[in-house]
Structure 1
Amino acid sequence: MLLKKLRWIIKRHPFLYLTRFRILSKNSSIEAIQDLSYNDWNAKEDIPPYFYEINTKIFKDGKPDADLELIKQLVTWLYSHSKVGPGLSEPSDKALETLLYGKGGVCSDMAQVFNNFCVINDIKVREWGTTSAPFSRDNGGHSFNEVFIKELNKWVLIDPSWGMLFFEENKEQPLSVLKVFEFSRKRQKLVFSSFIRNKDITKSQVNKNYLNPDITPFLICAYRNKTYDRYLKLYRAYLPVFIIHFLVYLTNKSYHYKFPLDNYKSIFS
């Protein structure tokens, strides 16, 4: 238990947290990220077989025709069959297994698992994060997703940890990530809700992760699931996760962060 706590402290130390952003961050634009998706770097055959096994259970009675309904069914099933806990930093199939057996997992684990299910179900998906700028110890960041819904012909923000969508007041279509932040910064009314039955989301949670004025979003790009799975399986038992990620970085196959709205250097001010 003490060793696990020590590992967590090292992993979340501000120096490592900020160093990651210094190395991996790039300024971008709304236009430049418009068509980017997790699917660009991850083919269906790159996803571990265990995801296909679980996918069969999730959709044992068939898949909905509409993308949004398929996503809701997927998230609802994952929520009802998993429990949050310590961050995992494991190969994706092991992370899924751990999530489903109630032994751990945080928002970034759920977002990553969700990515892979979207790929095998032919849904365009991408993963976002938020952090505070300037950096604050009180906000360790948050991970969530965005899916391209074909029947709406638009990207839609979805938080798979909460089953949450955002809406413009008195509108029925859910909003994209960039629209949520546009509305928030203009102080326009936003509505959020969970499609998971009896799931309560507090305003303080949403403010901390999305709507506070110091929050800035970034898109996680070029994450190659097959590459990270291979490195984690080889070295996880011997090396800290940040060292493993640095090894991938040295091979020029690392993910990176694109900041479409703000200068990433404001994190360090």
Structure 2
Amino acid sequence: MLFKKLRWTIKRHPFLYLTRFRLLSKNSDESAIASISYNTFNHQKDIPDYFNEINAKIFPHGKPDADLELVKQIVIWLFNNTKVGPGLSEPSDKALETMLYGKGGVCSDMAQIFNNFCVINNLQVREWGTTSAPFSRENGGHSFNEVYINEFNKWVLVDPSWGMLFYNDQNQPLSVIELYELSRTNQNLSFRSFIEGKIIEIDHVMKNYLNTDVTPFLICDYRNKTYDRYLKITRPFIPVFVVHFMVYILGKSYHYKFPIDDYKKIFT
């Protein structure tokens, strides 16, 4: 237990957290990220077989035709069959297995496994994170996704941890950029969960999305197959931040794009 606490403390140390952003961050804009997708570097054949096995349980009677209904069915099934807990830092199939047996998983683990389910169901997906700028230890950030929904012809923010969507005053679901454009100009927006009985606290939404210090970043060029391979070889013997640094040195790392704010604000 003491070793686990020490490992967690090291993993979440501000120096490591800020160093990651110094190494991986790039400023961007809306047009530059328009076509970025997790699917570019992650194809169906690259996703572990365990995801297809579970996918058959999610859709025992066939899949809905509409993209948004497909997304909702994935999220609702995962919500009903997983439990949150400590962060995992495991290969994606191991993370899924652990979450299904109720032994752990945080928002970043959920966003990662949701990515893979979208890939095998032919949905274009990408993963976002938030952090505070300037950095604050009280706000450790949040992870969520964005899916290209064909019936709306746009990217739509999907929080798979809470089954949540954001909407404008015409009740149209919002993209990440749209959310922050409306929020920062004090225009009307709303949010709700499509999971029956799920109540989302306004304080959680403010802390993770709408606080004035929160800034979103897009996680780009993540190669699930690469990280799965290195994590299977090295875990639990080598700390996960060392594994990620090894991949960075090899030139196969993901990076962060900040389309709204200057990422250097994190360090002020």
Which TM-score applies when normalising by structure 1? 0.99
1:125 aligns with 2:125: yes
Partner residue, 1:26 = 26
CA-to-partner distance for each residue in 1:75-125, whole Å, 9 max, x for gaps? 000000000000000000000000101000000000000000000000000
What amino acid is aligned across from residue 105 of structure 1 in structure 2?
G
Partner residue, 1:192 = 191
Partner residue, 1:265 = 264
Superposed structure 1 runs of 4+ greater than 2 Å apart:
none
CA distance in 2, matches of 1:111, 1:54: 16
- Equivalent residues in 2 for 1:85-124, closer than 5 Å: 85-124=85-124
CA distance in 2, matches of 1:28, 1:152: 25
CA distance in 2, matches of 1:173, 1:47: 32
CA distance in 2, matches of 1:2, 1:157: 38
Give 3-state SS (helix, strand or coil) of 1:217's partner: strand
Aligned residues: 268
1:12 aligns with 2:12: yes
CA distance in 2, matches of 1:259, 1:139: 18
Give 3-state SS (helix, strand or coil) of 2:130's partner: strand
Give 3-state SS (helix, strand or coil) of 2:135's partner: coil
CA distance in 2, matches of 1:199, 1:237: 35
CA distance in 2, matches of 1:28, 1:172: 29
CA distance in 2, matches of 1:77, 1:5: 31
CA-to-partner distance for each residue in 1:126-165, whole Å, 9 max, x for gaps? 0000000000010000000000001110100000000000
CA-to-partner distance for each residue in 1:199-220, whole Å, 9 max, x for gaps? 0101100000000111100000
CA-to-partner distance for each residue in 1:162-196, whole Å, 9 max, x for gaps? 00000012x23210000000001001121000000
Give 3-state SS (helix, strand or coil) of 2:88's partner: coil
CA distance in 1, matches of 2:207, 2:85: 19
Give 3-state SS (helix, strand or coil) of 1:136's partner: coil
CA-to-partner distance for each residue in 1:44-85, whole Å, 9 max, x for gaps? 100000000000000011100000000000000000000000
CA distance in 1, matches of 2:123, 2:157: 13
- Equivalent residues in 2 for 1:17-96, closer than 5 Å: 17-96=17-96
Deviation at 1:237, TM superposition (A): 2.2
CA distance in 2, matches of 1:99, 1:172: 33
Give 3-state SS (helix, strand or coil) of 2:129's partner: strand
CA distance in 2, matches of 1:196, 1:3: 37
- Equivalent residues in 2 for 1:221-236, closer than 5 Å: 221-236=220-235
1:245 aligns with 2:244: yes
CA distance in 2, matches of 1:29, 1:68: 26
1:210 aligns with 2:228: no
CA distance in 1, matches of 2:128, 2:42: 16
Give 3-state SS (helix, strand or coil) of 2:179's partner: helix
Deviation at 1:5, TM superposition (A): 1.0
How many percent of aligned residue pairs carry the same amino acid? 71
Deviation at 1:3, TM superposition (A): 1.0
In angstroms, what is the RMSD of aligned CA positions? 0.5
- Equivalent residues in 2 for 1:140-155, closer than 5 Å: 140-155=140-155
Which TM-score applies when normalising by structure 2? 0.99
Deviation at 1:254, TM superposition (A): 0.1
CA distance in 1, matches of 2:80, 2:220: 29
Give 3-state SS (helix, strand or coil) of 1:130's partner: strand
Partner residue, 2:182 = 183
CA distance in 2, matches of 1:76, 1:11: 30
Listed as ranges, the gaps of 5+ residues in structure 1 are none
